[in-house]
Amino acid sequence: MRLRLAVVGRSGRARRPLRNLWIGTFLSRLGDSVTIVALVWIVFAQTRSAEGVALVQFAYTIFVPVGGLFVGAVLDRYRVVPVMVVDAFAKAGVIGFALLAAMSGTALVPAALLAALYLGLTWMVGGAGLPTLIAGAIPPDAHPRANMFDSLTYSSSAVLGPIVAGVLIEAVDPLAALVVGAGCTIVYGLLLLQVKEDLVSHLPEATVGALGVRGVAQGFRLVFSSRLLVTLTWMYMSLNAIATVYAVAMPVYAATVLNGGAAGYTFLLSIRSVGEMSGTILGRYLGPRLGVGRSIVLAVTGGGILFFPLIAVRSLPAAALCLFVGGLVASSSGPWVQTLRMRVIPPQLRSRAFGSIRTLTNSLAPPAALAGGLLVPIIGVPAIFGVVGAGWIATGLALASVRELRDSRA
């Protein structure tokens, strides 16, 4: 299942850029996953409260929409890859600053929040940059497979990241997890540097006017001009907000209800991600048979229903089973959402359009983090999972009413 570059007649060496891209992307996401888990646990250990976790989630999400306003334009202006390289090394520097603050024994929590802020601000570099590279360097008939690989690198890093972080936190120190996170992003930057020119050669020429207000607005205008793009964007606005509430509740649930500590928390995160990986693979092949639009609706609705058993669960194995099955069903739409988007977005607007989409889809996450910090102490865990499940179901039912999505085909 090899993906070829969009250039005919190139040798096996031509596969090196994509190999570096996929390996680097996996390492970058693994590093981010390890780092965020470590930052969450550092602040939770200092505060022992849902409010502390909510503060990290808020810091991580508040600048994601802000970054999306200009990152997509910067990517189109400077042809994506150079921006991704600079971000990789800058990210390692910010994590290093948090390490220095911890080693000096001063301002650990503020330094952790600063790192979370930067990771959120620049999350859009990969969030918009990678789809642009996939759409440009890979032929359209291979986009579903490429988007599946994209989803799998995300899910596999989400599986391994919490495990690696949990082992390091328990066996060594949370700071060791930060070292691993910084190391992953440095290797990512070096891998991209090796193939920068080749990847850039498959992208449109730099858009000089992309950085102006008019250039940025073009991405948003494209999104709002398409009923399908609007629907898919609204879907993730809802699901990302709900997922943020879930993320606030999880460490509290693991520590106070399941008595699992850091190891239990990271184990549950990984199990959920294993389910999501399995669902992505399943959905890649079932989606065309069920109908791509219908599979998305069923995945969202079914994923919401499967949060409800967690209300009654009080043991780690039972919680792990629920989260695995829930992740499998929720991701069973496979890679088709991104594939549908790529069919609509023209090459010269890819980064700005993906940046606009990511800005909108993450815009509700910061208030959701604060809402989660308030709701969890009031209604408690695991009752919060009823709210999460109801939100997913409502989103799925709303999607079912949109004909443009419901009738989408592979």
Give DSSP secondary structure letters for 140-157.
Answer: GGGHHHHHHHHHHHHHHH
Q: Report which DSSP code applies to 210.
A: G
CATH number of 16's domain: 1.20.1250.20
- Among 275, 284, 281, smallest CA distance to 303 is for 275
- Among 272, 290, 248, 371, smallest CA distance to 326 is for 272
Residue with tokens 């990152």: 71
Could you tell me if residue 388 is inside a domain?
A: yes
d(CA 33, CA 159): 9
pLDDT value of position 397: 95
Q: Which residues in the chain land under pLDDT 70?
A: 1-15, 208, 334, 410
Q: Report which DSSP code applies to 204.
A: P
Could you tell me if residue 265 is inside a domain?
A: yes
Could you tell me if residue 281 is inside a domain?
A: yes
* Contact between residue 215 and residue 209 where contact means Cβ atoms under 8 Å apart: yes
Could you tell me if residue 169 is inside a domain?
A: yes
Backbone angles phi, psi at 370, to 5 degrees: -65, -40
Query: How many separate domains does the chain show?
Result: 1
Question: Sign of torsion, CA 42 46 52 58?
Answer: negative
N-terminal to C-terminal alpha carbon distance within the chain = 19
Could you tell me if residue 4 is inside a domain?
A: no
pLDDT value of position 83: 93
Query: Helix (H, G, I), strand (E, B), or coil: what is residue 7?
Result: coil
Determine the structural domain holding residue 206 and report its residue range. Answer: 12-406
Provide the CA 232 distance to its chain's centre, in angstroms: 15
Could you tell me if residue 6 is inside a domain?
A: no
Could you tell me if residue 70 is inside a domain?
A: yes
pLDDT value of position 14: 52
Provide the CA 96 distance to its chain's centre, in angstroms: 23
Q: Report which DSSP code applies to 254.
A: I
pTM of the model: 0.75
Could you tell me if residue 259 is inside a domain?
A: yes
pLDDT value of position 410: 63
- Amino acid identity, position 173: D
